[in-house]
Chains A and B, each alone.
Chain A
């Protein structure tokens, strides 16, 4: 391998990416030496995944340079990235569920004899490979991915990556479904690769792992590099936390209402078949309850379960004293004046229809129609009030929502809640992918809504929002409630500690 004088495997300079007005990566530099494990560390939304997706050809950067072994490269599509020797295991595994393990392992680079697949050769190689890998020995090569456990899917995803010739390996949360034994074996393989000069970009929230495997760390926050750790010995909890808790630019400036009423929503010992275990929480009139945690901590499941989108196996959901857990579904929840705003706003919108129709969809029946006939005049008046109140741009209720910006689309969904005259609100990551100006607007709207509500549940991965917007904060870890903190007691350090699943030991 010939390298330029600085001997870097990968050199990234000034990488910038924005979605519409929202900057997700801002002037990021990164050096990867051959044979090192370089950790990317930061909160959700810090830009780690965007960074790796650019390297893999999933996104195009707006500006910035990428050089591999001293040679400037242009990565426009996944094939470019692969031909440069960059191989990634993404969080979502990127496997085709309908195909077998073997078919997935060799997808796009099948062995052939003439026009036919050489299945025997692939199977033989794969079998030998799993034996060498020492994990996943019991995986049936001919089983479909869809029927495998998450753990086995993860093994397959990693195996697929390692089967390819590679120079740079990107691992995004590779151990999220692994036991310690499997993690240990994976680390052995990583060490073997680095000895051969492969560079590894490693993303994980699990501090112990980083201390064990990481050589250097780059800490990201709000799309910017905010810190470096230059040697394995310096990778400590304290240093990682220090990087993570440096306060960002924006602060949520909302005076919290102090006069809270009685408990209106109460959840006792709630379990779902999606994994939530023994969830207990309550929300008072006028209160904003924040829920934070890692992506798979179960925080979003709570919102979904309360709105009847998850199968509930035990426990109660009491709204104003009445338990509705048994027969909960969206229409029932709406009837009890509870409304849910999904994390993926596209789930909530009918893109090809206009603002007005989207805003009134849940309240057509009880407010804007009689005997099935629409009262369009009333609808128009009500929606124009909402458009004005929430400052929806363009202020044209006949505009199809697919032409609106992300922030305005989110406002349409919020308007839906106001029109429905809901009393209990569940917001799930409503500020994700929204520019800073709109975020501030949202905070105002949420605080305003909370005042006369029967309680607001605010699910978010942004620490600032948990700290400044919420009366109380619940931190989820491993699908359980890890901690509950009051606004006065919550600090960035404490929140990060709980989010990472660490015990507070100071």
Chain B
């Protein structure tokens, strides 16, 4: 009813590119600015002592893995046109839930404790995702508000269940499998991240489900006209996002060796930044797995390089924010 229809028409008229785009521009358009930024950082690393040390490289790989897994989940929600603020709290809730189970030591076997703990944590995470999805899809509430609410609920639940303090009782086998373990020098979490990425890549690009996700986020009415049960798939995207956040929570718990009610507090913003820098469109329909992983890599690198160069965390925050702004604005300009 507002006058905006007129402007809209004009915009679509002008949306068709008429000028030939250059090679560099074309590359940036498809891959984004990110590969160049990453390359620049890797070059910068040459001048930072200890950056290319094995220990630091392994550290970067680990951190990238945690962030990449949670970013992929957030990206799924972005793709279907949603938004999930609760993933950071889900990490904390999962950490507490998992440790509460393993701390009971109801079986002496560390491996089965690990399995049950992981399962319990994932169930808790999946439930939060399910609540998000159901409320958003069935009651048509904005995902921003719903996940803001569940962010509070999950964070509160984590603090209440743990009494606000770290819980001990993560089995040794869990720490050695997920936490510090490595295979041929490559950290286990990195291998897990690669498996997750490849699986999700296949899911998004080779399956019907993936197509439906793209379509729903790209234009929900087109999906409905094509007979797709959009509600079902939206719920599924939120559940998957919760599960990925939960899985990240399990891995991080194994790394820190205790159930932490404040684990993952910074992850939500980092994951969103990584997804957006990797070419995911807020609003739906666009995003890609390599971009999300590279985005996570970039964010970890920025922090790492600055840490090693003794740049304080306050400045780091400013730099990160600047990069995010830069990425979004250039992306918007280049799309035109």
Task: Enumerate chain A interface residues (CB-CB to B < 8 A).
Answer: 19-20, 53, 58-59, 78, 92-97, 145, 307, 330-331, 333-335, 340, 342, 346-353, 357-358, 361-362, 364-365, 368-369, 372-374, 376, 402-403, 405, 416
Which B residues touch A94, using CB under 8 A? 1-3
Chain B 202-242 near chain A by CB (<8 Å), digits 1 or 0 = 00001111011011001101111111110000000000000
Determine if B13 is an interface residue (Cβ-Cβ < 8 Å). Answer: yes
Is there an interface contact between A374 and B224, defined as CB atoms closer than 8 Å?
no
Is there an interface contact between B228 and A372, defined as CB atoms closer than 8 Å?
no
With A20-B13, A92-B1, A94-B2 given, is the CB distance from A350 to B222 under 8 Å? yes
Which B residues touch A346, using CB under 8 A? 12, 219
Secondary structure call for the B interface: helix
Task: Enumerate chain B interface residues (CB-CB to A < 8 A).
Answer: 1-3, 5-6, 9-10, 12-13, 15-17, 206-209, 211-212, 214-215, 218-219, 221-229, 281, 285-286
Determine the distance from Cα of A345 to Cα of B222 in the docked complex, in whole angstroms. Answer: 9
Is there an interface contact between A353 and B214, defined as CB atoms closer than 8 Å?
yes
Determine the distance from Cα of A342 to Cα of B13 in the docked complex, in whole angstroms. Answer: 20
Determine the distance from Cα of A285 to Cα of B5 in the docked complex, in whole angstroms. Answer: 39
With A94-B1, A350-B218, A351-B219 given, is the CB distance from A372 to B10 under 8 Å? no
A–B Cβ pairs within 8 angstroms, 28 of them? A19-B9, A20-B13, A58-B6, A92-B1, A94-B3, A95-B2, A96-B1, A97-B1, A331-B229, A333-B227, A334-B227, A342-B225, A346-B12, A347-B222, A349-B219, A350-B214, A357-B211, A357-B215, A361-B211, A361-B222, A362-B228, A364-B208, A369-B207, A374-B207, A374-B208, A374-B211, A402-B12, A405-B16
Nearest CB in chain B to that of A379: its residue: B211
Additional pairs, 18, CB under 8 Å, beyond known A53-B6, A342-B225, A349-B222 = A58-B6, A59-B6, A94-B3, A145-B1, A330-B227, A331-B227, A346-B219, A347-B222, A348-B221, A353-B218, A357-B215, A358-B222, A361-B228, A368-B208, A369-B208, A372-B207, A402-B16, A403-B16
Determine the distance from Cα of A256 to Cα of B185 in the docked complex, in whole angstroms. Answer: 74
With A59-B10, A92-B1 given, is the CB distance from A361 to B207 under 8 Å? no
Which B residues touch A374, using CB under 8 A? 206-208, 211
With A352-B286, A372-B207, A374-B206 given, is the CB distance from A58 to B228 under 8 Å? no
With A353-B215, A373-B207 given, is the CB distance from A331 to B222 under 8 Å? no
Is there an interface contact between B208 and A365, defined as CB atoms closer than 8 Å?
yes
Which B residues touch A348, using CB under 8 A? 221-222, 225
Cβ of B334 to closest chain A Cβ, rounded Å: 15
Cβ of B300 to closest chain A Cβ, rounded Å: 29
Which A residues touch B1, using CB under 8 A? 92-97, 145
Q: Name the one of A19, A95, A330 contacting B226, with C-beta atoms under 8 angstroms.
A: A330
Is there an interface contact between B215 and A96, defined as CB atoms closer than 8 Å?
no
Is there an interface contact between A353 and B285, defined as CB atoms closer than 8 Å?
yes
With A349-B219, A351-B219, A353-B214 given, is the CB distance from A372 to B5 under 8 Å? no
Is there an interface contact between B225 and A330, defined as CB atoms closer than 8 Å?
yes
Is there an interface contact between B6 and A364, defined as CB atoms closer than 8 Å?
no
Is there an interface contact between A351 and B225, defined as CB atoms closer than 8 Å?
no
Is there an interface contact between A92 and B5, defined as CB atoms closer than 8 Å?
yes
Determine the distance from Cα of A59 to Cα of B2 in the docked complex, in whole angstroms. Answer: 15
Determine the distance from Cα of A346 to Cα of B207 in the docked complex, in whole angstroms. Answer: 25
Nearest CB in chain A to that of B4: its residue: A94
Determine the distance from Cα of A368 to Cα of B210 in the docked complex, in whole angstroms. Answer: 13
Cβ of B217 to closest chain A Cβ, rounded Å: 9
With A58-B6, A350-B214 given, is the CB distance from A362 to B226 under 8 Å? yes
Cβ of B121 to closest chain A Cβ, rounded Å: 27
Nearest CB in chain A to that of B5: its residue: A92
Which A residues touch B286, using CB under 8 A? 352
Is there an interface contact between A361 and B223, defined as CB atoms closer than 8 Å?
yes
Cβ of A422 to closest chain B Cβ, rounded Å: 11
Determine the distance from Cα of A416 to Cα of B286 in the docked complex, in whole angstroms. Answer: 22
Which A residues touch B212, using CB under 8 A? 364
Determine the distance from Cα of A187 to Cα of B6 in the docked complex, in whole angstroms. Answer: 29
Nearest CB in chain B to that of A145: its residue: B1
Is there an interface contact between B16 and A361, defined as CB atoms closer than 8 Å?
no
Which B residues touch A362, using CB under 8 A? 225-228
Cβ of B221 to closest chain A Cβ, rounded Å: 5
Determine the distance from Cα of A334 to Cα of B226 in the docked complex, in whole angstroms. Answer: 8
Q: Name the one of A59, A92, A357 contacting B214, with C-beta atoms under 8 angstroms.
A: A357
Is there an interface contact between B224 and A330, defined as CB atoms closer than 8 Å?
yes
Q: Name the one of B3, B208, B219 contacting A372, with C-beta atoms under 8 angstroms.
A: B208
Which B residues touch A331, using CB under 8 A? 227-229
Cβ of B325 to closest chain A Cβ, rounded Å: 23
Which A residues touch B208, using CB under 8 A? 364-365, 368-369, 372-374
Which A residues touch B219, using CB under 8 A? 346-347, 349-351
Which A residues touch B10, using CB under 8 A? 59
Which B residues touch A372, using CB under 8 A? 207-209
Determine the distance from Cα of A78 to Cα of B5 in the docked complex, in whole angstroms. Answer: 13
Determine the distance from Cα of A58 to Cα of B9 in the docked complex, in whole angstroms. Answer: 10
Is there an interface contact between B211 and A402, defined as CB atoms closer than 8 Å?
no
Q: Name the one of B9, B206, B209, B226 contacting A361, with C-beta atoms under 8 angstroms.
A: B226
Determine the distance from Cα of A374 to Cα of B214 in the docked complex, in whole angstroms. Answer: 14
Nearest CB in chain A to that of B7: its residue: A58
Nearest CB in chain A to that of B2: its residue: A96
Question: For B6, B9, B209, B226, which residue has the most chain A Cβ atoms within 10 angstroms?
Answer: B226
Cβ of B204 to closest chain A Cβ, rounded Å: 11
Determine the distance from Cα of A307 to Cα of B221 in the docked complex, in whole angstroms. Answer: 13
Determine the distance from Cα of A347 to Cα of B222 in the docked complex, in whole angstroms. Answer: 6
Is there an interface contact between B215 and A376, defined as CB atoms closer than 8 Å?
no
5 tightest A-B CB contacts, nearest first: A350-B218, A331-B227, A58-B6, A362-B226, A334-B227
Determine the distance from Cα of A357 to Cα of B5 in the docked complex, in whole angstroms. Answer: 27
With A348-B225, A352-B285 given, is the CB distance from A361 to B215 under 8 Å? yes
Question: For A93, A348, A368, which residue has the most chain B Cβ atoms within 10 angstroms?
Answer: A348
Q: Name the one of B3, B215, B225, B228 contacting A340, with C-beta atoms under 8 angstroms.
A: B225
Cβ of A364 to closest chain B Cβ, rounded Å: 5
Nearest CB in chain A to that of B221: its residue: A347
Determine the distance from Cα of A94 to Cα of B10 in the docked complex, in whole angstroms. Answer: 17
Nearest CB in chain A to that of B210: its residue: A374
Nearest CB in chain B to that of A368: its residue: B208
Cβ of B278 to closest chain A Cβ, rounded Å: 16
